[in-house]
Amino acid sequence: MAVAVVTERMVLAGKERSLMRLLKQLQSKAALHPGYITSRAYRDEKDERRIMVLSEWAHQSAWESWEGRSADRKAISGEIADCLFGPTNHRVYSCVAAEQGDDFRL
């Protein structure tokens, strides 16, 4: 079952462009990983330092493989950490309705 992963980060002042460049690199590498579907980055409208990435994966094990075992991800994540204050937070959500009109699966 598909999962959505919400990743939140707080960017240091002056590091916004560096972070966006690194997130694009991370997305390019993730796109080659089995089970990756898509991802987008969003900036909080009330706090521009807060960046959220929403990624979709074919199943939770694909995300876990990317998160825990990808050398590319680990290398880029190390560079990303230099642009942040505070921890990176991930939440994984499973799909409860595949299309509009579907019954929710609870």
Q: What is the pLDDT of residues 70-100, one digit of tens each?
A: 899 999 999 999 999 999 999 999 988 666 5
pLDDT tens-digit map of 44-67? 999 999 999 999 999 999 999 999
Instruction: Specify if 102 maps to a domain.
Output: no
Tally the domains of the chain: 1
The CATH number of the domain holding residue 20 is 3.30.70.100
Q: What is the pLDDT of residue 95?
A: 83
Closest CA to 64 of 42, 45, 92, 26: 92
- Residue 47: its pLDDT value, please? 95
Distances (CA, A) of 41 to 97, 99, 104, 106: 23, 23, 26, 28
Q: Is residue 100 part of a domain?
A: no
Does residue 101 belong to any structural domain of this protein? no
Give the domain extent around 49: 3-94
Q: What is the pLDDT of residues 4-39, one digit of tens each?
A: 999 999 999 999 999 999 999 999 999 999 999 999
pLDDT on residue 103: 58
Asked if residue 104 belongs to a domain, the reply is no
- Residue 95's SS3 state is coil
pLDDT band at 102; cut points 50, 70, 90 = low
